[in-house]
Amino acid sequence: MKQIDLSVSINKIKLSSCIMNASGVLCSTDKELSNLLDSFSGAVVTKSCTRKPRKGNFEPRYFEWNMGSINSMGLPNLGIDFYLNFLEKKETKKPIFLSISGLSAEENYFLIKKANHYSKITALELNLSCPNLIEEEDLISYNFSRISYLLENIFKFNKKPLGIKLPPYFEDLSIQKMALILNQFPIDFVTCINSLPNGMVVDTKTESVVIQPKKGFGGIGGSIIKPFALANIRKFYTYLRKDISIIGCGGISTGKDIFEHILCGASAVQIGTQLMKEGVFVFERLEKEFSFFLRKKNYSSIDSFKGNLKNFQ
């Protein structure tokens, strides 16, 4: 049988498989991270951390249905020291992406400077797109001058490979503007997309919202957001420098979904809602399904079709 090579590089970071977890899902505690390290995933991404541990928003704060999920977790995490200490103790060949999400620019500088000293951290994923913070009035990633200022400061001192987790953008011009900013900095990757902000799910039986924080508004993930993920990946693939890799995230539950993300231009993919539904066994299943799909299509590696989406002539 033809050998399928699912290994990829995110800029200079080598992954044995292009499939990994999305930050936020089953990657907060010692046990969850240990399970991910032992799983079939090609890398491990930690829960976005802050300087101090956070309890996050009130429960219920996560709900899923057949087409997706809504969450307003509010960055519950054990604080950067927990993640750094945990990773220092672990022997692993998997690349480790430390996700950070400071509540201010200064907190992000602090977190990045601290993580820079730890050799077990392969790369940083700077999460600028969490839509669930009670403290934040606007999403920094929709504010281009704030982002530009933040990145200018970060790249005065950062030494680790660094990527940015982006929210979905809904206008071509926004993606062009964002890409123009990102192209000015030595960024290694972007992760597109975080959950769709300000969604709402209604329970008709109780005639109420399904999560408590923010009067029921939260980030939407899962199958229902796949078209937005694909569109953002495709546009960023068109506008970003070619050495900035794209990690696709949003709506992956089958091997065929992974194919679609990579055909649009992603180099690797992250699994969120489906990981929550299925647990870490999802990685082995997706790897099998994706390999089977590629074999049928007669592709033997990611690079043989990445970004090759066709338009109608």
Q: Which residues bind ligand SIN (CB under 6 A)?
A: 24, 48, 71, 73-75, 127, 129-130, 132, 194-195, 219
Question: From the CB of 71, what's the least distance to ligand SIN, in Å?
Answer: 6
Q: Closer to ligand SIN by CB, 73 or 268: give it.
A: 73
Q: Cα–Cα distance between 268 and 42 in angstroms, integer?
A: 9
Of 29, 31, 23, 72, nearest in space to 53 by CA: 29
Q: Cα–Cα distance between 195 and 130 in angstroms, integer?
A: 8
CB atoms within 10 A of CB 217: 18
Q: Cα–Cα distance between 249 and 266 in angstroms, integer?
A: 9
- Residue 265 tokens read as 């231009």
Of 160, 183, 192, nearest in space to 266 by CA: 192
Question: From the CB of 98, what's the least distance to ligand SIN, in Å?
Answer: 14
Q: Closer to ligand SIN by CB, 166 or 302: give it.
A: 166
Among this protein's residues, is 7 annotated catalytic?
no
Question: From the CB of 56, what's the least distance to ligand SIN, in Å?
Answer: 6
Question: From the CB of 127, what's the least distance to ligand SIN, in Å?
Answer: 5
User: Please, where are the H alpha helices in the chain?
Assistant: 30-38, 80-89, 105-115, 144-157, 172-182, 226-239, 255-264, 273-278, 282-297
Q: What are the backbone dihedrals phi and psi of residue 225, each rounded to the nearest 5 degrees, phi first? A: -100, 5
Which is catalytic among the residues 69, 129, 195, 253? 129
Among this protein's residues, is 129 annotated catalytic?
yes
Which is catalytic among the residues 18, 27, 49, 130? 130
Query: Annotated active-site positions, please?
Result: 129-130
